[in-house]
């Protein structure tokens, strides 16, 4: 898969390394030697200990960040500038606080040249789909964390991107809300199966949602140390799937490779 010559993969990372300059002229090597391919319609989760550069990798795929070595290709074409074929769901609040939920979603269609009347109509439909029909006129600060994520999800999906990049999108939410959001995401995704690259530090969430779990080593110079297929049936319920014996088997298998890295990350964090 990773060695496939780019043709059919939605996202191909080949030999990608990313480094940041530090104060004092030193260089911090965040990730290196990353080979990864995401096929169209595939839901891939990246897990790894805190600070392993998962989000950095995602930003490189989005074009927000230039890799220091290697190549990022989107549907076979080398990426230059921002990745216009992808939608990005951020971990932090990314909604425009001065716009209502409706305007936040509708404005996402403006770059595509959709007329305002139509944009408002489609935004209303999308907010209804994510269960926020009665919150159209609410400003972000009036919404709960989970509701804001729903608006952000609608904002990203209304543009109908071919690739979805998600950076610990449900990280700040409580456990129950996370499961509800996970199910909402699975339902929406099942309708047209976009390629998804989902970064999380929560292994259970990764298994519950994805087709494939990619494990990264602890940073610095983090790389991919494991690639596991999740053979659980779809459609799934993000909460109930966790009781499935197969889920436990996969969890155990992946955790055995992840555990050492998590401990390494802690040791590094305490030493530094």
Partner 1 sequence: MTRFKLLLAQIGVGLVLLALWHLVTNYPIFGTVKNAQFFFSTPGDVMLRVVREFASGEIWRHLWITLQETVLAFVFGAGGGILMGFLFARRELLAAVFDPYIKAANALPRVVLAPIFALWFGLGIWSKVALGFTLVFFIVFFNVYQGVREVSPTVLANARMLGMNERQLLRHVYWPAALTWMFSSLHTSVGFALVGAVVGEYLGSSAGLGYKIQEAESVFDVTGVFAGMVILAVFVLVIDSIVTVIENRLLVWRPGPGGVGKS
Nearer to partner 1, 73 or 100 (CB): 100
Q: Which of residues 198-257 bind partner 1 (CB under 8 A)?
A: none
Contacting residue, 36, 47, 108, 250, with partner 1 by CB under 8 A: 108
- Residue closer to partner 1 by CB (options 159, 264) is 159
Binds partner 1 (CB under 8 A): choice among 23, 26, 92, 271: 92
Burial class for 165, CB neighbours closer than 10 Å (0-12, 13-18, 19+):
buried
C-alpha closest to that of 127 among 98, 96, 106: 106
What residue has token string 């959001």?
Answer: 181
CB of 90 to partner 1, least distance (A): 5
Nearer to partner 1, 140 or 182 (CB): 140
Contact 131, 188 (CB under 8 A): no
Q: Which of 215, 208, 245 is nearest to 230 (CA)?
A: 208
Shortest distance (Å) from residue 195 CB to partner 1: 16
| 86 is a site residue for partner 1 (CB under 8 A) | yes
Please identify which residue in 38, 52, 95, 102 interacts with partner 1, judged by CB under 8 A: 95
Residues of this chain, 118-147, that bind partner 1 according to CB under 8 A: 139-142
Q: Which residue has the tokens 């610095």?
A: 220
3-state secondary structure of 42: coil
Selected binder of partner 1 within 43, 88, 198, 228 (CB under 8 A): 88
> Which listed residue (27, 69, 77, 96) binds partner 1 by CB under 8 A?
96
Q: How many residues does the chain have?
A: 272
Output the 3-class SS for 74-104: ECCEECCCCCCCEEEECCCCCCCCCCCHHHH
Give the per-residue contact string, 51-70, with partner 1 (x = CB under 8 A; - = no). Answer: -----------x-x------
Alpha-carbon span 261 to 264, nearest angstrom: 5
Q: Between 175-192 and 145-157, two packed helices, what is the crossing angle to 10 degrees?
A: 10
- Interacting residues with partner 1 (CB under 8 A): 62, 64, 82-84, 86-88, 90, 92-100, 107-108, 110-112, 139-142, 152, 155, 159
């Amino acid at each position: 898969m990773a060695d496939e010559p780019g043709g059919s993969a939605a996202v191909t990372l080949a030999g990608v390394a990313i480094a940041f300059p530090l104060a004092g002229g030193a260089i911090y090597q965040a990730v290196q030697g990353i080979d990864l391919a995401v096929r169209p319609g595939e839901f891939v989760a990246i897990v790894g200990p805190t600070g392993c550069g998962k989000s950095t990798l995602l930003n490189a795929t989005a074009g927000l960040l230039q890799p220091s070595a290697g190549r990022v290709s989107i549907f076979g074409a080398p990426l230059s500038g921002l990745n216009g074929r992808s939608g990005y769901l951020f971990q932090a609040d990314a909604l425009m606080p001065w716009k209502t939920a409706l305007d936040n979603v509708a404005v996402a269609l403006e770059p595509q040249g959709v007329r305002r009347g139509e944009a408002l109509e489609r935004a209303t439909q999308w907010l209804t789909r994510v269960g926020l029909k009665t919150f159209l006129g609410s400003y972000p600060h009036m919404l709960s964390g989970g509701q804001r994520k729903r608006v952000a999800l609608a904002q990203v999906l209304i543009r109908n991107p071919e690739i979805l990049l998600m950076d610990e999108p449900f990280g700040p939410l409580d456990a129950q809300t996370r499961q509800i959001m996970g199910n909402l995401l699975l339902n929406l995704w099942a309708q047209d199966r976009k390629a998804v690259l989902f970064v999380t530090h929560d292994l259970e969430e990764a298994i519950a949602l994805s087709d494939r779990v990619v494990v990264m080593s602890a940073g610095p110079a983090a790389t991919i140390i494991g690639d596991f297929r999740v053979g659980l049936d779809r459609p799934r319920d993000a909460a109930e799937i966790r009781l499935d014996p197969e889920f436990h088997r996969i969890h155990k298998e992946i955790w055995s490779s992840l555990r050492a890295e998590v401990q390494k990350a802690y040791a590094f964090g305490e030493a530094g």
